Copies of this chain bind each other. A is one copy, B any other.
């Protein structure tokens, strides 16, 4: 864990070490794409400010329009000293196609934010921008880890578990995943659960249409076997097939699926929660009496809202690259952005990406040679 508190300026003091071996003694620097979110740079800087107050030992690199960012930082006491601004002329919009951004996006704030991780100046990058473009830029600038075929996006899902969250991946990096990809998702998801949710031995489940072993698509049956074999060496429990209703359950910590199914499930969950919250609002505003009851229920309703608040679970983590990138919701406000940055700090302090890389490399070796090589986390 990083314990160094002396990071009064981010610039210069940042680690340029790419192996990460000595990162533990250097200050943690988070790279933030300050543009590209629906609510503009003001919300991003406000989010940075919340995270900075909570974490006095952290520095930031903000990418975007220099003048705008300078003005915004000046409004928050003490924040400028902890943030380095990297000027970028252009912004990736929500409508920009990933391919175009890959070709012509060199001057965007997104590109600069990812490059700060590539150069080793920052450990994790956070962006509210367009998911497809962010994945494309991350892929070409950071490159895939050796032995990873398809990177994945992992999301946090409010659950009945003690931590309050489960992890699901892939939720949309790629619409396809074969058996080996699913195995890699299991390894990466377990590593994320250990480092992000602090679980020693995460329980991993493979999403299917039933829990019986004979059910589902052919690649799922093979993946079941592969993950089952890898579980012990990789220090996780494999609970086998799980169903959609298990995603928020306490049967499992990590849910593995392809990016098509994961994306549909994620958005279905969000849609259902939003429908119920609309219906609840209508129920409580139906008559003068129910409106009074709603007032008296404010504390209960707030407690409920806090538990299912999608902003608390903000941050899709890109896994399988040479560096960690976190995609915050495009419409995130300062609370949401602060949550994504907090997640970045947690992962950065646990030296997550190096542990994940070691874990995946070791499992890949085990699969090839049958040898078991013990690695940390």
Contact = CB atoms under 8 A, between A and B. Distances in A.
Interface of A: 158-160, 172, 175-176, 207, 209, 216-217, 243-249, 257, 259-261, 263-276, 278-280, 283-284, 286-287, 289-290, 292-294, 296-297, 299-301, 303-304, 307-308
A287 B290 CA distance: 20
Nearest to A296: B293
A260 B265 CA distance: 11
Contact of A284 (B245, B267, B284, B297): B297
Given A276-B276, A279-B304, A290-B297, A249 B261 contact: no
B279 A289 contact: no
A292 B272 CA distance: 28
Given A158-B275, A275-B158, A216 B297 contact: no
Interface centre among A176, A259, A297, A299 (most CB of B within 10 A): A297
A303 B286 contact: yes
Given A243-B264, A246-B271, A257-B264, 4 more contacts: A244-B270, A265-B268, A276-B276, A283-B301
A272 B248 contact: yes
11 contacts: A175-B209, A209-B263, A243-B267, A248-B272, A257-B264, A265-B268, A268-B268, A269-B269, A269-B272, A287-B299, A294-B297
Contact of A245 (B243, B270, B283, B304): B270
A261 to B, nearest CB: 5
A158 B273 CA distance: 12
Nearest to A304: B283
Nearest to A132: B210
Contacts of A283: 300-301, 303-304, 307
B299 A271 contact: no
A369 B261 CA distance: 36
A304 B280 contact: yes
A268 B284 contact: no
A374 B8 CA distance: 76
Contacts of A279: 304, 307-308
B289 A293 contact: no
